[in-house]
Amino acid sequence: MSPSPPAEAPTWQGPRPSSFRPCPRKTAGGCDYGEGCDYTAYDLLCVSGSCDTPQTGDLRCHRICDDGACGQGEKCVRRTVGVSDTGEAQLPLCLCAGKDCPERGPGGIPWPAEGGLAPWRQERAMPADLYYHAATATPERLLVSGGLHIQAISGSGASLEENAKVFSAPLLAEGGLGEWTKSGTLPVPVIHHGMAVLAGRLFIAGGQRQGDFTAEVVSAPIQGDGTLGPWREEAPLPQPRAWHSLVAHGRELWVIAGTLDKADFTRGTRQLWRAKVSSDSGARVSRWEALEAPFPPHYDQGVALSGGRLYAVDGRGQLSSVALDAGRDWRAEPSPPWKGSVDFGASGHHLVRLVALHDTLLLLMPRGLTLTASLQPDGTVKDWRQASRLHHLVDGFATASDPKGRVYVLGGTTSAPTMQRNPEVWSTTRVAP
């Protein structure tokens, strides 16, 4: 019998304090969501005529108090963060009362559980750094396939390799992951693909190969030791597609979200495709049926399945749901406090990952922002709130959840200079109310 989840630790009263983590890159990139670096940047045409004025900031991450509120023991002060020929740029930051600000988060004082979500726990790393890969879980194993791998890093950039390997790690009874092993090899390397397990087989659908989208669907049996049997071609998707989610529900596979437009991959599609998997031992896909959502879900996997109900967030941050048994009659749900984009400086579009853990929805975003909401018995969504944060991730990570209610975040690009190669795996679970 699995151990009971720990009781929820006390949550912060009032605004969350600053993390006070070092930001050596002198940008907000290494800070938590909603924080800024206390550092002044000077361009080539400084007002004073001098660009080497000594810094007055502490090069740490402070909460941006544009609402005028700070955590306990902090005060809101306007700081100069940029000087140019057009004047000064200022940012309201929460400063600590003393000279030494206590660092919180990784490497500092641990955060308590927040938003009903346990603090993130580091698991056994994957055998290789990956991003734009796919992940899924069975009751026994966590699997990951495809993606891009960094071969070498130089001053001019990185050389990348498309990964064709499938790795898996056993889910241990006491929690955590066992040793990662190679389970098999994809017929061809692929990125931005969908992956799901149904009837003891691993299904791979669509994705991108050497710049082109594909409609190919293949499957392989998962053996008792986690290795894969021979691959078999299944009925192809109606059109080439990538960036989507592949969801298993009963004896059906669903392809949701993603894009059909390689030239404009951030433009989603309303098209939903489902296929019935035969009930015999062959578990074959013979054809795909097309349905249509009332809106294009967020192109990068902004969907989750819980209790037979699909939840999808669109590019504006609006959340809706539908019972997959019907495939129609969508209803609006309370939307998360997110408007389709988050300002992280120079980065453009932003991925989201919507994950369901039994009676909880998680919305994962770059730069550590994690939101949770409760799922009611009738499937309605209630009470979005900020939750325990995951640090460093920027883009391209994969997620999977196991039947016991633990979510895993695997790989992706990072904001930390020493972590450009990122094979890391992190996990969390909901905590008891």
Question: What integer pLDDT is reported at residue 349 of this predicted model?
Answer: 44
Question: What integer pLDDT is reported at residue 382 of this predicted model?
Answer: 94
Whether 425 and 153 have beta carbons less than 8 Å apart is answered as: no
At residue 145, what are phi and psi to the nearest 5 degrees? -145, 160
Whether 76 and 94 have beta carbons less than 8 Å apart is answered as: yes
- Distance of alpha carbon 294 from alpha carbon 91, whole angstroms: 40
- Residue reference for tokens 């950039």: 157
Cβ-Cβ contacts under 8 Å for 430 (sequence gap 6 or more): 5, 116, 117, 118, 357, 358, 359, 360, 372, 405
**DSSP string over 376-403:** PTTS-EEEEEE-----SEEE--EEEE-T
The pTM assigned to this predicted structure is 0.85
Whether 71 and 14 have beta carbons less than 8 Å apart is answered as: yes
Question: What integer pLDDT is reported at residue 336 of this predicted model?
Answer: 85
Question: What integer pLDDT is reported at residue 283 of this predicted model?
Answer: 92
- Residue reference for tokens 């997110």: 338
Type of residue numbered 341: S
Type of residue numbered 149: H
Cβ-Cβ contacts under 8 Å for 200 (sequence gap 6 or more): 221, 222, 283
At residue 367, what are phi and psi to the nearest 5 degrees? 65, 25
Residues 9, 13, 15, 17: is their CA dihedral positive or negative?
negative
According to DSSP, the β-strands at 194-198 and 201-205 are antiparallel
Cβ-Cβ contacts under 8 Å for 339 (sequence gap 6 or more): 316, 317
Closest by alpha carbon to 58, among 30, 26, 31, 17? 26
- Distance of alpha carbon 213 from alpha carbon 255, whole angstroms: 14
Please list, residue by residue across 82-102, b when 16 or more beta carbons sit within 10 angstroms of its beta carbon and e when fewer do: ebeeeeeeebbbbbbeeeebe
- Distance of alpha carbon 52 from alpha carbon 48, whole angstroms: 10
End-to-end CA distance of the chain: 20
Residues 378, 249, 354, 347: is their CA dihedral positive or negative?
negative
Q: In tens digits, what is the pLDDT along the chain, a chain of 433 residues?
A: 333 344 444 455 667 889 998 886 665 556 777 788 898 877 766 555 555 566 678 889 999 898 888 988 899 999 988 877 677 788 999 999 877 889 988 778 888 888 899 988 999 999 999 999 999 999 999 999 999 988 777 666 667 888 999 999 999 988 899 999 999 999 999 999 999 999 999 999 999 998 899 999 999 999 999 999 999 999 999 999 999 999 999 999 999 999 999 888 888 899 999 999 998 878 999 999 999 999 998 888 789 999 899 999 887 788 999 998 876 789 999 988 765 444 433 333 456 789 998 899 998 876 667 889 999 999 999 999 888 888 767 778 999 999 888 999 999 877 554 446 789 999 999 886 6
Type of residue numbered 58: D
- Residue reference for tokens 């998997």: 277
Closest by alpha carbon to 176, among 423, 10, 380, 406? 406
